[in-house]
Amino acid sequence: MKPNRIKLSDVADAAGVSAATVSRALRNPDIVSQKVRERIQFVIDELGYVPDPAARALASARTDVIGVLIPSVTNSVFADVLRGIYSAAEGTSYRIQLGNTRYSVLEEEKLLKVFLSQRPAGLIVTGIDQSAASRAMLLKAECPVVQIMETGDRPVDMMVGFSHREGAFAATCHLIENGYKRIAFLGARMDPRTQRRLEGFSQALREAGLLDERLIVTTPRPSTVTLGSELLGELLARAPDADAVFCNNDDLALGVLFECQRRRIAVPDELGICGFNDLEMMAVANPAITSVRTFREEMGGRAFELLLGSLNGAPVGEGIVDLGFELVRRESTRRSALN
């Protein structure tokens, strides 16, 4: 059963040194003489020695695991963030351990417990709305923690994100400026970030005296392109005079666009469409769809770098990074004639 796997002591024997020296050559090469270090490296290559992470973790009371908690593996927004994380992790000795919370704070709590039991080197968690129990666990975790996707006061440790509220606010102002009067909100899933986008939306319209609650259509269902089509149908049944929609995200926006094509509703003249996140396809849709670009891959990368810095004893503080957003104006909101 147990194969004759090469272990540290085998290397030590073959190199004619003690196990301690081999361990040091691996963990802390500087304190081993060059001659010995090279001999050890040679033997390691020769024998194909690979350290056992479990043994190392047990002996040193720490691992090279970075735990990452995201609400969904299929949502491309998080996929982008993940890619950023994996890219940044490339070449380091850290391993990513992914947890899928499915947008559930309870699930998050459970996963956090499991992750923490492994003594992770660091933790990346999504959002700022952890349960009290989760927050408590994070606060007393003996590793650096980065909250991503949003910024806010009260960080557990570090943060990298942007303001969804402001992003939505900016997008809505843009619609208002372009002369739209009956601006609707289409929202799915309604997770905390979506809620804050709705706040930004509402605020902009309220300030312009244009807010009409009947133009807000939301559902707890996860957002899909199909759902975008459906929600537009609902909206128009309820308020046929809507002249623009701000979609909680790009999937919905695309669904709205398809539905407009189907119903022969002219975009942007009869209906303006604005999405959120600026997925790649927004630019190539017909017409191209206005969206709020977010820097998802960079967010993942920065989160990992923050962790790394903290692990290398970088000065703490300066732990909140606001990546901002960028309103990308495209045809879908470019009205040819202002009404």
Binding site for DNA (CB under 7 A): 2, 5, 7-9, 16-24, 26-27, 30-33, 35-37, 49, 51-52, 55-56, 58-61
Binding site for its own copies (CB under 8 A): 1-3, 50-55, 57-58, 61, 63, 73-74, 76, 79-80, 82-83, 86, 95-98, 100, 113-114, 116-119, 142, 224-226, 228-229, 251, 254-255, 258-259, 261-262, 280-281, 283-286
Which does residue 339 touch among DNA, its own copies, none (CB within 5 to 8 A, set by kind)? none
Return the structure tokens found at 94: 């850290």
Which does residue 278 touch among DNA, its own copies, none (CB within 5 to 8 A, set by kind)? none
Q: How far is the CB of 54 from DNA (least distance, A)?
A: 7
Q: How far is the CB of 93 from DNA (least distance, A)?
A: 11
Q: How far is the CB of 57 from its own copies (least distance, A)?
A: 4
Comparing CB distances to DNA, the nearer of 54 and 237 is 54
Q: How far is the CB of 200 from its own copies (least distance, A)?
A: 27
Q: How far is the CB of 153 from its own copies (least distance, A)?
A: 28
Which does residue 95 touch among DNA, its own copies, none (CB within 5 to 8 A, set by kind)? its own copies
Which does residue 35 touch among its own copies, DNA, none (CB within 5 to 8 A, set by kind)? DNA
Q: How far is the CB of 31 from DNA (least distance, A)?
A: 5
Which does residue 23 touch among DNA, its own copies, none (CB within 5 to 8 A, set by kind)? DNA
Task: Report the amino acid identity of residue 178.
Answer: N
Comparing CB distances to its own copies, the nearer of 18 and 261 is 261
Q: Per residue, what are the HEC states of the chain?
A: CCCCCCCHHHHHHHHCCCHHHHHHHHHCHHHCCHHHHHHHHHHHHHHCCCCCHHHHHHHHCCCCEEEEEECCCCCHHHHHHHHHHHHHHCCCCCEEEEEECCCCHHHHHHHHHHHHCCCCCEEEEECCCCCHHHHHHHHCCCCCEEEEEECCCCCCCEEEEECHHHHHHHHHHHHHHCCCCCEEEEEECCCHHHHHHHHHHHHHHHHCCCCCHHHEEEECCCCCHHHHHHHHHHHHHHCCCCCEEEECCHHHHHHHHHHHHHHCCCCCCCCEEECCECCHHHHCCCCCCEEEECCHHHHHHHHHHHHHHHHCCCCCCCCEEECCCEEECCHHHCCCCCC
Which does residue 286 touch among its own copies, DNA, none (CB within 5 to 8 A, set by kind)? its own copies
Q: How far is the CB of 152 from its own copies (least distance, A)?
A: 26
Which does residue 118 touch among its own copies, DNA, none (CB within 5 to 8 A, set by kind)? its own copies
Do 125 and 145 contact (CB within 8 A), yes or no? Answer: yes
